[in-house]
Chains A and B, each alone.
Chain A
Amino acid sequence: MSGVRVLVGTAKGAFVLTSDGSRRTWKVEGPHFAGWEIYHLKGSPVDPDRIYASQSSSWFGQVVHRSDDGGKTWETVGNDFAYDGETGTHQWYDGTPHPWEFARVWHFEPSLDERDTVYAGVEDAAIFRSTDGGGTWEELSGLRGHGSGSQWMPGAGGMAVHTILQDPSDRARMFVAISAAGVFRSDDGGTTWQPKNKGLSSEFMPEPEQEIGHCVHRIAQHPARPATLFMQKHWDVMRSDDAGDSWTEVSGDLPTDFGFPIAISAHEPDTVYVVPITSDSVHYPPDGRLRVYRSKTGGHEWEPLSDGLPQQHAYGNVLRDAMDVDHLDPCGVYFGTTAGEVYGSPDGGDHWTAIVEHLPRVLSVEAQDLP
């Protein structure tokens, strides 16, 4: 691999950061779609130059863009995300039934092996699939309709499918995570779904260990060990070694186990990264010190990584889709903050530099390996 491209979605546009394999110097391009919220950008594993961008606005709704030249030029594709059949209701903030209403795409997940297939996780929570490069979208309605939808409820940021994982060892198996409903798994290519939340406990629910209603912030999977999942929940860092059938807490010695993103090293399935945030009511790093925590033991034991990160007056948050890794050797780690910085480490987190500062609030960060 010759280099890396980091796709950054922000509250006022998209930015594309590129570097060679050394990852010492970076070229920053953007903003694309200036003035619009770009919730997420992600490239196809089949064709890295095919990139999808979710452009959203309270004024003008959802627009979907696709690039076929690595982000140099873009075209609009389909934005008709029509729920399948009767939409039904979920819980509103006050506990009353509220009809499903499409708001925006939170996350794109291009297929692992089909160039024109891409999944979209949306608010209100549902998953859609396109098999024509984003031109048209069809809901995989077995998720929304599997039976527990009336118990799902929005968190402060909305109720969305924000994580979509495709199992590289079993093409029929997929995972999604929903705030605030939990993790769901499909073993038949997305037709039917089952909740996979045993072992989670959330004190904001009347029955903390109930199956549905957990505010899962992010889940991650390493392709070499697909039955193992790591989770950053609203509170608690969790691990499953049976494809989500059960979860155990691995927060261990973290200073706080509240946070949003979680990522796994490209080369070490037991090396995991989180960014602890003070609490659910104080959304910034403890003591204003920005530190990534790394576990090399699959959880429980964590070490702070701070070399090159601000250790005073750092009050940005790191959102759930704003952390990723590349596949170079050593593994590069990247994250963006709501204060507009994007940090990168070319050595697995030992040393960090600010690739770019003073961007708008960073909503998403995705790293692409360039051939």
Chain B
Amino acid sequence: MPGSHVTEDAPTARDVRVVLPAHLRTLAGVQREVIVTVVGPVTQRRVLDALEACFPTLGGTIRDRATARRRPFLRFFACAEDLSHDPPDTVLPDEVASGKEPFIVLGAISGG
């Protein structure tokens, strides 16, 4: 519209806590928990995108490179809920977005 302009709020950036399983901590050279900055709605996809951007060595280790799906022996937990089967663009609980609770990447236990 001539003469008008639209102002949008800048997307909110949030610091999200992510807990990694032992092997991925070793691979990335980090401690149990890392903090990644997520811009916009805090979803599984955005959290994992931010994680892989911070730690490129984790690319392909949580999500399959070809399908971008969660690897079958991993689970995603937060706020005492199993979120593994939620669509990747589902907004995570407010407690994760606010940093009160971590987003947990968990490896399946193995016997033997």
Contact = CB atoms under 8 A, between A and B. Distances in A.
Nearest to A57: B23
B66 A63 contact: no
A61 B23 contact: no
A60 B61 contact: yes
A80 B57 contact: no
B71 interface: yes
B23 A79 contact: no
Interface in B44-94: 56-57, 59-62, 64-66, 71, 73-74
A144 to B, nearest CB: 14
A58 B108 CA distance: 10
Nearest to A62: B60
B13 interface: no
B27 interface: yes
Contacts of B26: 34
Which of A57, A60, A80 has the most chain B CB within a 10 Å cutoff? A60
B71 A61 contact: yes
A76 B60 CA distance: 12
Contacts, number: 46
A82 to B, nearest CB: 7
Q: For chain B, which range describes its interface: under 10, 10 to 19, 20 to 34, or 35 or more residues?
A: 10 to 19
Overall SS of chain B's interface: loop
A59 interface: yes
B23 A59 contact: yes
A94 to B, nearest CB: 21
B79 to A, nearest CB: 23
A90 B67 CA distance: 19
29 contacts: A34-B26, A36-B23, A57-B23, A58-B73, A59-B21, A59-B71, A59-B73, A59-B107, A60-B23, A60-B24, A60-B27, A60-B62, A60-B74, A60-B107, A61-B60, A61-B64, A61-B71, A62-B60, A63-B27, A63-B60, A76-B27, A76-B56, A79-B59, A79-B60, A80-B60, A80-B65, A81-B65, A82-B65, A102-B66
Given A34-B26, A63-B61, A80-B59, 16 more contacts: A35-B23, A57-B23, A58-B73, A59-B23, A59-B71, A59-B74, A59-B107, A60-B23, A60-B27, A60-B61, A60-B74, A61-B61, A63-B60, A76-B27, A79-B60, A101-B66
What 4 A-B pairs are tightest by C-beta distance, nearest first? A60-B61, A76-B57, A59-B73, A79-B60
Interface of B: 21, 23-24, 26-27, 56-57, 59-62, 64-66, 71, 73-74, 107-108
